[in-house]
Structure 1
Amino acid sequence: MFISPAFAQAAGGAAPSGIAAFGQFLPLVLIFVIMYFLLIRPQQKKVKEHRSMVEALRRGDQIVTQGGIIGKVTHVREDGELEVEIAPGVKVRVVKATVTQVLTKTEPAASAE
């Protein structure tokens, strides 16, 4: 009385062909390509630039850390740390990766010829 009979619907068309199936995935592929060029690629470029900036740090560079501390590099250690002078006579150890900006860059020493 309250339940209506269920009728099976007639079968639709044939299964999608190769071109039609590709057409269904085309928007998904386009979204991935757009995301790659707008998000992934610029982020990889930014990471590469930061890595090269950190590798080029040397004694005498004035830097800014992620915490906002401004100081001058007094010693570059091989274990991924810097010794930074933040005030006269006050030196702190800082992880290289936390350097966000180099304010003033020292020129490399001229080679003796």
Structure 2
Amino acid sequence: MIGGFFLFIYFLIIRPQNKRMKAQKEMIENLSVGDEIVISGGIVGSILKISDNFITIRANNSELIIQRASVSSVLPKGTIKSL
């Protein structure tokens, strides 16, 4: 009974969370110059420079240095121009 409960918790909570973490890590590792991104604060910009832990982005004619981990999603090319 208890084993079934832990199995249920694993498939309901732990496994999906691990999949999301793996996908996020893969997305961050595959970033490249020119990609259009959204960071966790909701700022939209394009990548100018990438270093080990930081990314320089251009957002509304301003350059920002952000941590790689703060990237929440990659946008399709041309999204910024359509905003």
- TM-score of the aligned structures, taking structure 2 as reference length: 0.89
Indicate the residue corresponding to 2:5 in structure 1.
Answer: 31
- Counterpart selection for 1:86 from 59, 62, 69: 59
- 1:97 partner letter: A
Gaps of 5+ in 2: 78-83
- Name the SS for the 1:57 alignment partner: coil
Percent identity over the alignment is: 34
- The structure with the greater share of residues assigned to helix is 2
- Name the SS for the 1:83 alignment partner: strand
Return the index of the structure with the highest Cα Rg.
1
Indicate the residue corresponding to 2:32 in structure 1.
Answer: 58
Gaps of 5+ in 1: 1-26, 106-113
- TM-score of the aligned structures, taking structure 1 as reference length: 0.66
In structure 2, how many angstroms separate the alpha carbons of the residues matched to 1:35 and 1:65? 31
Q: CA RMSD in A?
A: 0.9
In structure 2, how many angstroms separate the alpha carbons of the residues matched to 1:47 and 1:60? 24
In structure 1, how many angstroms separate the alpha carbons of the residues matched to 2:5 and 2:67? 38
Q: Deviations over 1:20-79 (max 9, x none)?
A: xxxxxxx1111100000110011001000000000000100000011000000000012x
- Counterpart selection for 1:98 from 53, 70, 75: 70
- The structure with the greater share of residues assigned to strand is 2
In structure 2, how many angstroms separate the alpha carbons of the residues matched to 1:104 and 1:74? 16
Indicate the residue corresponding to 1:76 in structure 2.
Answer: 50
Aligned residues: 77
Moved over 3 A (4+): none
